Amino acid sequence: MTALDAAGAPCSRALLGVLIALGSAFGRPALAQTAPEQPTAQTDAVPAAADTTGGGATPAEPALPPTRPWSIVPSVTMQESVTDNVWLAPTQRQADLISAVTPDLAVSGQTRRLTLSLDANLTYDKYLSATALDGIQYAVNGYGNAELVDKLLYLDMRSAIDVQPLMLTGPISAESRVLPTNQAEVINNSISPYLRHDFGDWASGELRYTLATINYANAGAGMPVAPANSIEALNNLSNAVTNEYTVGLHSGPTCGRVNWGVDGDYSQASYSAQRQIDQSTETTTLEYDFIHEFGVIGKVGYDGYRDSAFPTTDTSNPSWRLGFRLTPGPRSSLTFEAGSRFGGPYWAGKLYYKFSPTLRLDASHDIAQVTQQALMTMALTSLVPNNLGQLVSPITGLPTSPNQQLFSYIAPSFLQKTSRMTISGQRGLTTVVFGVTYQENDIGTASLAQGAMETQSVLESDLSVTYQLNRHSDIRFGGSTSRLFDTIHIQEATIGQATLSYDYKLSPSLTGSLAYSYYTMSNKLATSYYENIFMISLRKAF
């Protein structure tokens, strides 16, 4: 018996005891939320092979400096915009001048036990001719993490509030501004106390509770406006409150070649429209490493899903998966699994490859049982804090909105199949991020064996380029194109958008910007339109 095998023997006995204890505790398959595979945070280390079937678990947070001075920065931005299609009309286009003022407050800092970042702003749009569109929008991005008891009890708090379009085939402006229809404030908040403890070198555990809320408000232009229930009536959406409980126990370094994990997740979402969803996942994972670079993985578990509004989607299915982990070196990692889940054939995978210290590839595929509200909650909890404590994408390191969807907002439950590929790199003063995403939503079903009432699919590609001319100025370009298909509501639509901006730092507290934005939506329903916007702005920090 090798030293690694000897080390794994007590670990195997410990695993058996854990499984017996959990079996007694759960009694029957618990109910838990199934999250899509989340990408690994961008670091120089190789992503660890981990089970991501428990949707409530927050990805590991990157190391932050021990402390960071507190910063409180109020600012005001003045912007003048010229649009050539103020009403976003297919014909009889009208130009207009829009004046906007945006007060903003940014607070951030870090002590040994507390990390806090908050950015809140409010924008008032004043139209020269289309005065009926005058109104206010506000946005908040917040993150806080506190270590309440040393190396034991923690508290995670997150918030993302912004304006989002309700239908991607409806009127959407080239730049964020008040519109008469098809937009609402999406208020996405979560608070999560959790316990973490290391049981010597043989195991580590986490017990977490998450309270998440999704609210829709302020539809249309101006404040105050129609309450949330009018949005529900118009778009079949409703506010949601989710209580989620997750538990996980995973092997430590003593286990040697035998790595194991046990995860359980139960969530209950209550909606304002007399609707309740109970979802559950239990997963037991066992991995054996033949060598450091290669290991085989086996998973068994159970998935349950109950939606009171759509009882035909109720499912209770055992699952099993076999796969492998391949880590040829510090620059690459591949995990793959296939088997049966959600009542049918299932496969998922994740690839990471670092071509150079500044150029990397990330790719993934996964299937999940979800609702629109659950997707936004999971997107919020999957973001990671950067070195300033701000929530950013774990792949690109760029700010992103967890409330933004690839397709229109919908109410029913659905199975979502998502494939992503992202290439991100930096050379000199230039940073480039290119991504392609394919997503298919099978509406009205939560089982692969059930037939979908409706199928939505979208193929999106996006590009972001930032070039720093010098320490005072930079040029930014962002563009995307989407191809949408819906088997019921629309045949197909193509959406394209692009933004080009030049930013110049006039002084340490004064920044100027020139920008151009373009947006177009075309379909076969004679509602195609496009818009050009030119903008000039000044931002003063105090």
180 φ, ψ (degrees, to nearest 5) = -75, -30
* Strands in 343-491 per DSSP E: 344-356, 359-370, 384-385, 391-392, 414-427, 430-443, 454-470, 473-486
pLDDT at 466: 94
Distance CA 476, CA 21 (A): 55
16 in helix, strand or coil?
helix
Q: Given the DSSP bridges, would you call strands 359-370 and 414-427 parallel, antiparallel or unpaired? A: antiparallel
pLDDT at 315: 85
User: CB under 8 Å to 243, separation ≥6 — which residues?
Assistant: 209, 210, 211, 267, 268
pLDDT at 134: 92
Q: Are 239 and 228 in contact (CB under 8 A)?
A: yes
Q: Which residues of the chain have pLDDT under 70?
A: 1-66, 218-237, 489-490, 526
Print the domain residue range for 346.
Answer: 3-541
User: CB under 8 Å to 456, separation ≥6 — which residues?
Assistant: 407, 408, 410, 440, 441, 443, 484, 485, 486, 487
pLDDT at 237: 63
CA 103 to chain centre: 27
pLDDT at 125: 95
pLDDT at 490: 64
The CATH number of residue 206's host domain is 2.40.170
pLDDT at 271: 86
CA distances from 533 to 96, 176, 304 (A): 10, 11, 48
Structure tokens given for 303: 């998935």
CA 347 to chain centre: 21
Of 84, 73, 88, 102, whose CA–CA distance to 513 is shortest? Answer: 102
- Taking only the tens place, the pLDDT of each residue in 290-347 is 998 999 999 999 999 998 877 777 788 999 999 999 999 889 999 999 999 998 999 9
Structure tokens given for 140: 């908040």
pLDDT at 33: 37
Model confidence pTM above 0.95: no
Task: For tokens 């005001």, name the residue.
Answer: 76
For the chain, what is the domain count? 1
Distance CA 339, CA 135 (A): 52
Residue 262 β-bridge partners: 249, 284
